[in-house]
Amino acid sequence: MTFNNLLQSTDSVNVLDIENIYNGGGVGIADFNNDGLQDVYFTGNLVSNKLYLNKGEMQFSDITDKAGVNGGGGWSRGVSIVDINNDGLADIYVCASLSSDSKKRENLLYVNQGVSNGVPVFLNKAAEYGLADTSHSTMAAFFDYDNDGDLDMYLLINEIVKHESPNNFRPQQKNREHPNTDKLFRNDFNESLKHAVYTDVSIQTGITYEGFGHGVNIVDINRDGWKDVYVTNDFLSQNLLYINQRNGTFKNEASSYFKHTAENAMGQDVIDINNDGLADIIELDMNPGDNFRKKMMMNSIGYQRYSNNDYFGYQYQYVRNVLQLNQGPMVGQNDSIGHPVFSDISFAAGIAETDWSWSPSVADFDNDG
């Protein structure tokens, strides 16, 4: 595998004009030809996406062009692997961003057509499925939000609007006034087409808060049998915890669940860090570990900043990584079982300050349980 997401700055493509230029791409792992070996799909920004077929013995073959999955010349971001049509074959959903040409910002849905001459072949059917969204999207999460047995989709948006600083205080926009607002698509099976057609139901479901999205995870955080959505956002835009109301709508309850969240939040992971059966959350920020770099890089934090957060309706956030330890449910009204209580243990765990960090992946690397 020789993939390199190489970026070369030019007069028109540079960090001064495009703030999100270094946000990177994505990687998807799946067995696309059902031979029992995991294949690898990379997304590129200024370079083509690449699909590497696993030949065994740690040998891979570049089959991008034969498979028809090069990304179409767009600025590709996150990638999701999903069996969109329940045919037992892994399909690929690619998010696109940054291009001023809306056609090149159309997200791609590569539907697996099966194997031809030893190579899985794909067709882009995003438009047919209602998923050729042109927002500046970061990544997509497929899940069943309404418990009807099919996969719906949450789309994470991150668009830097020109001539607008994302760190300037202003009233928080909670009613989809800002283009930087995520979307929720409902899976509506079309009998005549014999496949799903996705419908944007963001407004009626309550997905309305603005944000500069870097990470999204789907988890039943309150263990009521309905999937919830946790979103980490960059800059002033606060992190969002959309709790499923079990009636087709969501409500952002982040401030009720979490007392500390990362301000410049990047990626996140939902894991059970202490093997107690409860979902914990780690989210990353960019606080340096040494005092000199703290003084050089961090914004000043004073009374005015605290006051502005309250005045403009933001939950106060902290410039550091946050490890949310799930303490179990609180006692609700009339001694009922309430929602979970979380405590930030990032300093105690020794992971609060890891400099500019992008994406966590928690695993048992040393096999100690």
Per-residue model confidence as pLDDT tens digits over 260-287: 888 888 889 999 999 999 999 999 988 8
**Span 24-66, pLDDT tens digits:** 899 999 999 999 999 999 999 999 999 999 999 999 999 999 9
Most confident of the ranges 121-135, 252-266, 326-340: 121-135
- State the sign of the Cα–Cα–Cα–Cα dihedral 266, 29, 218, 212: positive
Residue carrying structure tokens 């040409």: 101
Q: Examine residue 174 and state whether it is found in any structural domain, yes or no.
A: yes
| Whole-number pLDDT of residue 332 | 67
| Whole-number pLDDT of residue 101 | 84
Going by pLDDT thresholds of 50, 70 and 90, the confidence category of residue 188 is very high
Instruction: State how many domains the chain has.
Output: 1
Range of the domain at 262: 27-269
Question: Distance between CA atoms of 345 and 241, rounded to whole angstroms?
Answer: 19
| Whole-number pLDDT of residue 359 | 86
Q: State the virtual CA torsion across 150, 153, 154, 156 in degrees, nearest 10.
A: 160
Going by pLDDT thresholds of 50, 70 and 90, the confidence category of residue 336 is low
In the chain, how long is the greatest CA-to-CA distance? 66
Average pLDDT over residues 133-146: 95
Q: Do residues 278 and 272 make contact, with C-beta atoms less than 8 angstroms apart? A: yes
Q: Examine residue 249 and state whether it is found in any structural domain, yes or no.
A: yes
Q: Examine residue 247 and state whether it is found in any structural domain, yes or no.
A: yes
Task: Tell how strand 183-190 and strand 195-200 pair up.
Answer: antiparallel
Q: Examine residue 67 and state whether it is found in any structural domain, yes or no.
A: yes
| Whole-number pLDDT of residue 108 | 98
Question: Distance between CA atoms of 273 and 363, rounded to whole angstroms?
Answer: 9
Could you say which DSSP state residue 221 is in? T
Lowest-confidence segment of 121-125, 136-140, 168-172, 345-349 by average pLDDT: 168-172
Q: Examine residue 307 and state whether it is found in any structural domain, yes or no.
A: no
Percent of the chain with pLDDT over 70: 98
Assigned token pair, 139:
């990544």
Residue carrying structure tokens 């050089």: 296
CATH number at residue 77: 2.115.10
Assigned token pair, 111:
């539907």
Q: How long is the chain? A: 369
Most confident of the ranges 141-150, 167-176, 341-350: 141-150
Going by pLDDT thresholds of 50, 70 and 90, the confidence category of residue 167 is confident
Tell me the three state secondary structure of residue 310: helix
Q: Which residues pair with 152 in a beta bridge?
A: 143
Q: Examine residue 228 and state whether it is found in any structural domain, yes or no.
A: yes
Residue 365 identity (one-letter amino acid) = F
Assigned token pair, 92:
């690929």
| Whole-number pLDDT of residue 113 | 97
| Whole-number pLDDT of residue 319 | 85
Q: Examine residue 225 and state whether it is found in any structural domain, yes or no.
A: yes
Q: Examine residue 258 and state whether it is found in any structural domain, yes or no.
A: yes
Most confident of the ranges 28-37, 155-164, 335-344: 28-37
Going by pLDDT thresholds of 50, 70 and 90, the confidence category of residue 140 is very high
| Whole-number pLDDT of residue 93 | 98
Assigned token pair, 200:
């944007």
Going by pLDDT thresholds of 50, 70 and 90, the confidence category of residue 149 is very high
Q: Do residues 204 and 224 make contact, with C-beta atoms less than 8 angstroms apart? A: no
- DSSP structure string for 140-193: EEEE-TTSSSS-EEEEEE----TT--TTS------SS-SS-B-EEEEEEEETTT
**Span 301-312, pLDDT tens digits:** 777 777 888 788
For residue 334, pLDDT beyond 70: no
For residue 129, pLDDT beyond 90: yes
